Structure 1
Amino acid sequence: MDKAFTEVALVVSQPRWVDRFSRTAHELRTVFPHAPIEHVGSTSVPGLASKDTIDVAVGVLDVTDALDEARIDVARALGFEYVPASFADDPDHAFFLRIVQDRRTDHVHVVRLGSSVWNDYLLFRDYLRATPEALDRYEQAKRDLIARYAKHRDRYVSEKQPIVEALLMDARSWRSAGGRAAQ
C-alpha cells in the first residue's frame, strides 16, 4: 500500500489551515448549500501540531437524505471521494476524503446536526482552544504515538481514540462547569 495511506506525520500549527478550511467550506457549500460547515480536528486549534489534513464537519438533518447520488457526484467532481465503509455502523455519520498528489488534504464528516458526534466535534475543538493544558496534553500524546506508529496510520488512529475519549470526558466537565461550546 502507498505510504500516503499508511504513514502519518505531525507538522507544527500552520496559519494557512484557516484559509484551506475556508476554501474547502466554500466548495462544500455547492454540495450542501444549507448545512452548517465547521472546521474541526487539530487543524482547527491554533498552536496544535497536526497531520496536514483539514477536518470538516457538515451538519445535516438526515445523513441518508443528504447523500443522494447527485450530491455524491458533485462532491466527486470537486475531488472528494465518498468512503461508505468508513463509519458504516453509524447511520448518522458519513465520510469523504480528498487526496491531492498522493496526500490526504481533507477529511469531511457529514453528520446529523445535533447528534452526539456533531456536538463532540465542536466541544472537543472548543475545549482545546480554551484550555492550554489540555492542548499540551493532547499534543504530547500525539507526538508519543507518532514516535511509535508513524508508519502505521491505522494503529496511530486506533491508539489515539482512548486519548480523545478521555479528553472529551474532561471537556464535558469543563462545559458543565461553565465552559462554552459552540452550538
Structure 2
Amino acid sequence: MSEQHSRLFEFPGGVLELQSAGDADEGYAGFHLQFYGCAEAEGRVNEGAIMHWKPACIGYLRTDVSGVAQLWDQSQIRRLAERLGYDFADMVIYDPKFGRPPLARLRAQATRLDAEAVVVPSPEHFEGGEIPAALVLQVDVIVVNPEETYARRSVSQLPQHR
C-alpha cells in the first residue's frame, strides 16, 4: 500500500491542497486540486465552502468614435465593469477600415468567453447610435455614459436592426 502525502498552501480566500502517492517522487507533476474555505473565527479549514463566481464581461469600442480618447474609454469601461462586480475578460476594439461586420467579432467573443455583459462607452459606438436588439438578446449591454443597462429581459423595448 502506498503512502499519501498532502501539502497545503494558504492564499486569500482558501487553501490549495496538493496530494500525491508515496511512490511518486517530490517532483511528480500530477496533483488533485480541492478548494476549502477558511473559517475565520476559529482559524481552521472547513470543507464545503462555496467558491464565489463573478460573471464575465467584455468591453467594446470603435476606434473611429473614440478617436484620441480611446485609452480613456478603455479605462472607463474597465472601471465600470469592476464597480459592477464583473470579471473583465476582454476588450473588443473595432476599426472600420478593416471592413468586417462590426458586431460579428463582438458576438463571437461574447459566446466564446461566456460573457454575461458587454460594456460600451456610449451608444454611438453602435451603428446609428442605437443598441442592437440582436446583441441584447445574447448579453446585457451596459453603457458608461450615460450609465444605462439594456438587460436581456427588456429586448422588446429596442428597435429591431439587422
Shorter-chain TM-score: which interval? Answer: under 0.3
* Structure with greater strand percent: 2
Larger Rg: 2
- After TM superposition, the score normalised by the length of structure 1 is 0.24
